């Protein structure tokens, strides 16, 4: 029997918050279909979501306990969570892959006028076949689906102390791994070996698994931050960036570190310092009640006033049961920043031309400002 990651009270508190948001949004229930949303409400944690074969459903009513409508292969694991109403079918079934069981469950639990929220807005997707969704829509009429993104977003965005502790733990694991950089990377090592050793080191320090690694190494900054490793060897003059979303108990860290392979150019050093200082600005200035675009503005202005050019794209985001969560620090995101949000600060800036650098820290927003969850990077990036 697996030890539960959180006590039942943690999940009941989440459900109560979801139900409060449902009431405000005029929704009678929520239909959840993704690994993150279902884990968040139930504690059901498995890497089996890697298989696209089967849909999984959790129906959370506006009052009362959630009902899991899932493939029978998951029954044993779900029965170890706090969820007691578990309905299963033998999936995958090419004739009816849970459609009639989900429809019957909705029919049983919700009145004819019910409006069921499902996350269908920004940064969401419905993890079930679209044809099946359309079929369920017909079967459950006159009940109807509506966008439930705001309900899930506003609930998941604000973390409990138990969640914050989990994120701090995985941040510590990644910090210890970055401290071992001299065992992972030195001039002459190929980048794919660096990536492999980095992941193995994260595991060795206690990560359950490593869902995300990216990195780059080239002179004067890098061209992108999402590439997989190449066989190219690290060379003197490279800036090496490693970024990880490692996982412990279902919670992610998401931060990078830059390392210099030999002494950096003045331009690289100056850009790195500006990124660090702009992050410091945000660590001082960010407060609950500001908007996501304020965080973007603070970081952008922080770079500009140190005479480096900010890159486009977002400069931070939420973090928790997925690698990135709402909100996004862009000029357009007006999400209110609230106490208890776990966020990344991720300014990026060009180095004299097209290459760039990114610097990232993870924080929790407290009433009096950010509290670091990562151990702050040194202002001068380490030379390896």
Taking the complex as a whole, how short is the minimal distance between the CB of residue 2 and a second copy, in angstroms? 5
Q: Which residues have CB under 8 Å from 381's CB, separation 6+?
A: 257, 258, 259, 260, 264, 272
- What is the Cα–Cα distance from 297 to 289, expressed in whole angstroms? 15
Side-chain half-sphere CA neighbours of 114 within 13 A: 24
Taking the complex as a whole, how short is the minimal distance between the CB of residue 21 and a second copy, in angstroms? 18
Asked if 183 touches a second copy (CB under 8 A), the answer is no
**For helices 35-42 and 149-157, angle between their N-to-C axes, nearest 10 degrees:** 60
Whichever of 1 and 141 has its CB closer to a second copy, that residue is 1
> N- to C-terminal Cα distance for the chain?
45
Residue where the block lists tokens 């992050």: 279
Asked if 346 touches a second copy (CB under 8 A), the answer is no
Interacting residue with a second copy among 61, 62, 66, 74 (CB under 8 A): 74
- What is the Cα–Cα distance from 183 to 193, expressed in whole angstroms? 11
Whichever of 96 and 307 has its CB closer to a second copy, that residue is 96
Whichever of 24 and 47 has its CB closer to a second copy, that residue is 47
Interacting residue with a second copy among 10, 208, 277, 352 (CB under 8 A): 208
Q: Which helix (H) or strand (E) holds 102?
A: helix 99-109
Interacting residue with a second copy among 170, 171, 229, 341 (CB under 8 A): 229
Structure token digits, residue 281: 């600005």
SS3 letters for 125-143? CCCCCHHHHHHHHHHCCCC
Asked if 206 touches a second copy (CB under 8 A), the answer is yes
Site string for a second copy, 92-131 (x = CB under 8 A): xxxx-x--------------------x-xxxxxxxxxxxx
Footprint of a second copy on 292-321 (CB under 8 A):
312-314, 317
Site string for a second copy, 33-72 (x = CB under 8 A): -x-x--------xxxx-xxxxxx----------------x
Interacting residue with a second copy among 22, 164, 181, 210 (CB under 8 A): 210
Q: By the 8 A CB rule, do 66 and 15 touch? A: yes
Asked if 144 touches a second copy (CB under 8 A), the answer is no
Asked if 231 touches a second copy (CB under 8 A), the answer is yes
The answer to whether the bond into 234 is cis (omega within 30° of 0) is no
Footprint of a second copy on 186-205 (CB under 8 A):
192, 195-197, 199-200, 203-204
Whichever of 75 and 339 has its CB closer to a second copy, that residue is 75
Whichever of 230 and 284 has its CB closer to a second copy, that residue is 230
Asked if 213 touches a second copy (CB under 8 A), the answer is yes
Taking the complex as a whole, how short is the minimal distance between the CB of residue 5 and a second copy, in angstroms? 10
Whichever of 19 and 322 has its CB closer to a second copy, that residue is 322
Asked if 224 touches a second copy (CB under 8 A), the answer is yes
Asked if 13 touches a second copy (CB under 8 A), the answer is no
Residue where the block lists tokens 């309900």: 151
SS3 letters for 234-298? CCCCEEEEEEEEEEECCEECCEEEEEECCCCCHHHHHHHHHHHHHHHHHHHHCCCCCEHHHHHHH
Site size for a second copy, by CB under 8 A? 82
Taking the complex as a whole, how short is the minimal distance between the CB of residue 195 and a second copy, in angstroms? 7
Q: Which of 244, 177, 164, 168 is nearest to 206 (CA)?
A: 177
Taking the complex as a whole, how short is the minimal distance between the CB of residue 223 and a second copy, in angstroms? 5
313: left (phi over 0), alpha (psi -120 to 50) or beta: left
Footprint of a second copy on 148-177 (CB under 8 A):
149
Taking the complex as a whole, how short is the minimal distance between the CB of residue 130 and a second copy, in angstroms? 4
Whichever of 75 and 161 has its CB closer to a second copy, that residue is 75
- What is the Cα–Cα distance from 58 to 40, expressed in whole angstroms? 11
Provide, for the chain, the percentages of residues in helix, strand and coil under a 3-state DSSP scheme, each rounded to the nearest 5: 35, 25, 40
Interacting residue with a second copy among 227, 301, 339, 353 (CB under 8 A): 227
């Amino acid at each position: 029997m697996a030890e539960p990651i959180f006590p039942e009270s943690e999940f009941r508190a989440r459900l109560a918050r979801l139900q409060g948001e449902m009431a405000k949004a005029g929704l009678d229930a929520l239909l959840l279909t993704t690994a993150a949303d279902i884990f968040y409400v139930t504690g059901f944690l498995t890497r089996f979501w890697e298989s696209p074969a089967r849909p999984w459903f959790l129906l959370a009513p506006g009052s009362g306990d959630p009902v899991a409508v899932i493939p029978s292969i998951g029954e044993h694991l779900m029965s170890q969570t706090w969820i007691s109403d578990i309905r299963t079918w033998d999936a995958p079934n090419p004739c009816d892959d849970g459609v009639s069981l989900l429809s019957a469950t909705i029919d049983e639990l919700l009145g004819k006028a019910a409006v069921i929220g499902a996350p269908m807005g920004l940064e969401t997707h419905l993890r079930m076949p679209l044809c099946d969704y359309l079929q369920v829509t017909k079967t459950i009429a006159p009940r109807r689906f509506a966008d439930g993104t705001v309900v899930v977003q506003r609930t998941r965005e604000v973390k409990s102390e138990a969640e914050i502790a989990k994120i701090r733990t995985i941040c510590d694991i990644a910090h210890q791994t970055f401290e071992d950089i001299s065992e992972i990377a030195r001039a002459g090592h190929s980048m794919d070996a660096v990536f492999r050793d980095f992941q193995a080191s994260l595991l060795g320090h206690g990560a359950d698994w490593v869902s995300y690694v990216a990195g780059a190494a080239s002179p004067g900054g890098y061209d992108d931050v999402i590439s997989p490793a190449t066989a190219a060897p690290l060379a003197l003059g490279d800036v090496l960036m490693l970024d990880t979303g490692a996982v412990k108990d279902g919670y992610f860290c998401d931060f990078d570190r830059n390392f210099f392979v030999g002494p950096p150019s003045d331009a690289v050093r100056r850009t790195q310092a500006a990124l660090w200082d702009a992050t410091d600005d945000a660590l001082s200035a960010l407060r609950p009640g500001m908007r996501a675009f304020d965080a973007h503005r603070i970081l952008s202005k922080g770079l500009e006033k140190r005479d480096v050019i900010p890159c486009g794209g977002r400069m931070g985001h939420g973090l928790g049961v997925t690698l990135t969560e709402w909100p996004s620090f862009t000029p357009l995101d007006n999400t209110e920043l609230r106490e208890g949000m776990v966020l990344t600060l991720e300014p990026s800036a060009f180095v004299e031309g097209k290459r760039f650098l990114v610097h990232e820290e993870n924080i929790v927003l407290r009433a009096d400002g950010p509290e670091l969850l990562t151990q702050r990077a040194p202002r001068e990036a380490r030379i390896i």
